[in-house]
Amino acid sequence: MDALINDIEIIKAKTTKINDVDFDNLTFGKILTDHMLECDFKDGKWQAPKVVPYQPITLDPSAKIFHYGQSVFEGMKAYKDADGTVWLFRPLDNFKRLNISSKRLAIPELPEDYFMNGLKALLKVDSDWIPRNEGSSLYIRPFIFASGKGFHASPADEYKFIIACAPSGSYFSGEVKVLIEEKYSRSANGGVGFAKAGGNYAGQFYPTQLAVDKGYQQVIWTDDNTHEYIEEAGAMNIFVRINDTLITGPTSDRILDGITRKSIIELAQSKGIPVEVRKITVSEVVEAAKNGSLKEMFGAGTAAVISPISGFGYKNEDYDIPEMEDAYASFLKKHITDIQTNKSEDPFGWRYKVE
């Protein structure tokens, strides 16, 4: 039966897939919910968004997404607390960053109410899909791509905005060993590294596979010019703990302004942990590993929240990072996930109740 939620048209799926899902054994991002939000840009404006059954989409072979790569996305999560209330974590930051990414790729920016009201309507329709299991959540993927037709190398005249959701377990499991990249770059000055553009990730896959073939799980990206500075860890921002100081690189044209990254910096400072936002040289990290002052390295992002790094490789040498009992990674991850899941107070105003 069709309906309206938050002024969003709802077209319900005739059947549900939820009864076939094992919520105790969720992989990441493989199973999709019954519905999705869909909104088209055409005739110079965004049309009314609507919630529809999750389904394939049909595109013309000349759709510009296939040829010129106009595509941006976000990653978010929804959580259910013990009372069944649904929460989001800093969703307006995701909305703002989606538009920052869109602007850089000449994609028309999206109205805030289309994003927020559409997302809330979708979560209400698929509320039963939000897991309550510890460590699980509903992963949310908003994305925009060029659907307009034609081979001319120019921005498209039509776009499609979709939000799809997947109940998911942990993103990473087990130890993560990384290889510091000496040749390939994730992004460059003046480029689109700060945007969540699909092409950024496509360009990572080949160097990452080379690292996997050598026995590592991920790559630590270095700057495009000299490869002297550590920038990101795979698809995540990176933090390094030297002695008791937590260090992360500044955002730039090349580095994504991660929402988890910002949260970690603010949380750590509030807990009295010394934080430095500055450039980090590879040689500084290698020297710290040699003299024992390198206490921790971890990646930070929406999917994994915090992913500890157990060691790294550089110039054919491996460096182990011993596990610490009082690790910042576990301390900060617990505090952030407790806020996200409404298990603790939220002094920062990050948690967003879906009503």
pLDDT in tens, 232-258: 999 899 999 999 999 999 999 999 999
pLDDT of residue 98: 98
User: Which of 204, 295, 208, 218 minimizes the C-alpha distance to 256?
Assistant: 204
Contact criterion met (CB below 8 Å) for 198 and 57: no
Q: How far is CA 110 from its chain centroid?
A: 19
pLDDT in tens, 171-221: 766 679 999 999 999 999 999 999 999 999 999 999 999 999 999 999 999
pLDDT at position 228, please?
97
Q: Which residues contact 144 (CB under 8 A, 6 or more apart)?
A: 71, 72, 73, 98, 102, 107, 110, 159, 160, 161, 162
Contact call for residues 283 and 230 (beta carbons, < 8 A): no
Domains 3-168 and 176-340 share a fold: no
Rounded distance between C-alpha atoms, residue 109 and residue 245, angstroms: 39
The H or E element spanning position 269 is: helix 259-270
- The pLDDT of residue 172: 65
Q: For domain 3-168, which CATH number applies: 3.50.50.60, 3.40.30.120, 3.40.630.30, 3.30.470.10? A: 3.30.470.10
Using the 8-state DSSP alphabet, how is residue 236 labeled?
Answer: E
Neighbours of 132 (CB within 10 A): 13
Question: Taking the domains of the chain in order of start, what are their residue ranges?
Answer: 3-168, 176-340
Give the pLDDT of residue 194.
95
How high is the pLDDT of residue 299?
A: 95
User: What distance in Å separates the CA atoms of residue 11 and residue 32, rounded to the nearest whole number?
Assistant: 17
- Distance, in Å, from the CA atom of 306 to the CA atom of 32, rounded to the nearest integer, reads 24
Question: What is the CATH class of 176-340?
Answer: alpha beta
Residue ranges in the chain modelled with pLDDT below 50: none
Distance CA 261, CA 270 (A): 14
